[in-house]
Chains A and B, each alone.
Chain A
Amino acid sequence: EVQLVESGGGLVQPGGSLRLSCAVSGFTFRSYWMNWVRQVPGKGLEWVANIKDDGTDKYYVDSVRGRFTISRDNVQSSLYLQMDSLRVEDTAVYYCASVQRGFPFDYWGQGILVTVSS
């Protein structure tokens, strides 16, 4: 059974930092691109970042580039999102996902809430 389990969310003050983790099991983690997607409660979906299977290529949406860093550990089958200089508008549920754009492979975690507030 495939599982993606996020952890590390919570309440943080504006300007603070948080590191999200995603523990993956049930598929060969090192063979697939991984993604972070976020959703403001009650609103739509926003793609945040992608990382290539070997970690060499990374892509970010403009609103987080320079503040967020996606990384992975292919030995531990884990995905990370280091979030620095957090803003109120970063408040959202963050999903860890493995969505391959060209073939049938689509798995999502349950999501974890990050709240940025003073």
Chain B
Amino acid sequence: DVVMTQSPLSLPVTLGQPASISCRSSQSLLHSHGNTYLSWFQQRPGQSPRRLIYKVSNRDSGVPDRFSGSGSGSDFTLKISRVEAEDVGVYYCMQATHWPWTFGQGTKVEIK
């Protein structure tokens, strides 16, 4: 199985400041037909997960533009340009190139 490794696992941030989460995969996530199926999910306390980003850098509907994704191959990043209070929660990267789809361990974002 593809192992997804996130860092850091805990991220205290100041409101209005940027935040960045790294995700590395144990093998390339480039699919044979040219797409890279790397997604980012947000799970707020007490809520179901919600996807923010699909195929590395594409925002899902309704996702604020302060969230952005980048990367290629096996190295990816989620950035929040200016953290807001509603961004508190756990963020997971997930690969859907290889079965079984696998998640990272999660990064807990909290306000300092």
- Is the beta-carbon distance between B105 and A106 smaller than 8 angstroms? no
How far apart are B103's CB and chain A's nearest CB, in angstroms?
Answer: 5
User: Which segment, of B20-28, B54-62, B76-84, faces chain A?
Assistant: B54-62
* A88 CB-CB contact with B under 8 Å: no
User: Which segment, of A9-17, A20-28, A43-51, A72-80, faces chain B?
Assistant: A43-51
CA distance A106 to B63 in the complex (A): 12
How far apart are B95's CB and chain A's nearest CB, in angstroms?
Answer: 9
Closest to A35 in B: B101
Q: Inside 8 A of A95's CB, which chain B residues have their CB?
A: 48-49
Q: How large is the interface on B (under 10, 10 to 19, 20 to 34, 35 or more residues)?
A: 20 to 34
Chain B interface secondary structure, helix, strand, loop or mixed? loop
- Is the beta-carbon distance between B61 and A108 smaller than 8 angstroms? no
How far apart are B50's CB and chain A's nearest CB, in angstroms?
Answer: 7
Interface flags for A38-71 (1: CB within 8 Å of B; 0: not) read: 0000001111001000000001111000000000
Choice from A46, A101, A110 contacting B96 with Cβ under 8 Å: A101
* B35 CB-CB contact with A under 8 Å: yes
Q: Inside 8 A of B60's CB, which chain A residues have their CB?
A: 104, 106
Q: How large is the interface on A (under 10, 10 to 19, 20 to 34, 35 or more residues)?
A: 20 to 34
* B69 CB-CB contact with A under 8 Å: no
- Is the beta-carbon distance between A106 and B37 smaller than 8 angstroms? no
How far apart are B49's CB and chain A's nearest CB, in angstroms?
Answer: 6
Interface flags for A84-118 (1: CB within 8 Å of B; 0: not) read: 00000000000101010111101011110000000
* B100 CB-CB contact with A under 8 Å: yes
Choice from A97, A101, A108 contacting B54 with Cβ under 8 Å: A101
Residues of A within 8 A of B (CB): 37, 44-47, 50, 59-62, 95, 97, 99, 101-104, 106, 108-111
| Nearest 5 pairs of A and B residues by beta carbon | A101-B96, A106-B51, A108-B48, A47-B101, A61-B100
Cross-chain pairs A/B with CB under 8 angstroms, 19 sampled: A37-B49, A44-B106, A47-B100, A47-B101, A47-B102, A59-B99, A59-B100, A61-B100, A95-B48, A97-B49, A101-B37, A101-B55, A101-B96, A101-B101, A104-B59, A106-B50, A106-B51, A109-B48, A111-B48
